[in-house]
């Protein structure tokens, strides 16, 4: 799952950083999985442990839109997180959303 996320997102989206650690009061506060120009994405490989709490932290440390990608979360957890943040369980929809936000890679001249 993780390989697919890294490869597929990176193919079409400009990724600025991966696994960036933020500090608060000299303590490690949170680590963003992927950052683009406009979004900070948390990738969840399992049940989505405390995704909302992590995205809350993202919004405190970056001025970017916090986004979740968690294909295996339970419906109850998804419903809860979606009250507050954009959450995707499908990679194509995530990429489409990031492109809409302006984070897509520019096509090279001469390519269709």
Partner 1 sequence: MAKKEKKEENKYMNEEILISRTYISKEDFFSDIKINGLKLEVGGDDDQIWFIDNKSSKTLAIVDIIFKKGNNFKYSKEQNLIIQSINKPYENGVFYFFEYRDSKIMKEIEKSLNIDGRDIYILLDNDDEFKKVN
Where do contacts with partner 1 occur on this chain (CB under 8 A)? 2-3, 5-7, 18-19, 21, 27-31, 33, 43-53, 57, 72, 74, 76-77, 80-81
Q: How far is the CB of 18 from partner 1 (least distance, A)?
A: 6
Residue closer to partner 1, measured from CB, 61 or 109: 61
The token duo for 37 is 């120009």
Yes or no: say if 11 and 102 are a contact pair by the CB < 8 Å rule: no
Give CA–CA dist 92/108, Å, rounded: 22
Half-sphere exposure of 78 (CA within 13 A, CB side): 13
Q: How far is the CB of 65 from partner 1 (least distance, A)?
A: 19
Residue closer to partner 1, measured from CB, 23 or 112: 23
The token duo for 9 is 């997102």
Q: How far is the CB of 43 from partner 1 (least distance, A)?
A: 5
């Amino acid at each position: 799952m993780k390989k697919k996320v890294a490869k597929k997102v990176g193919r079409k989206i400009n990724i600025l950083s991966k696994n960036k650690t933020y500090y608060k009061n000299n303590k490690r506060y949170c680590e963003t999985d992927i950052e683009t120009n406009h979004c900070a994405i948390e990738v969840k490989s399992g049940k989505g442990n405390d995704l909302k709490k992590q995205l809350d932290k993202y919004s405190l440390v970056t001025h970017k839109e916090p986004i979740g990608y968690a294909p295996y979360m339970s419906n109850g957890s998804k419903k809860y997180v979606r009250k507050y943040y954009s959450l995707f369980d499908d990679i194509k929809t995530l990429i489409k959303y990031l492109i809409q936000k302006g984070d897509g890679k520019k096509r090279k001249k001469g390519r269709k």
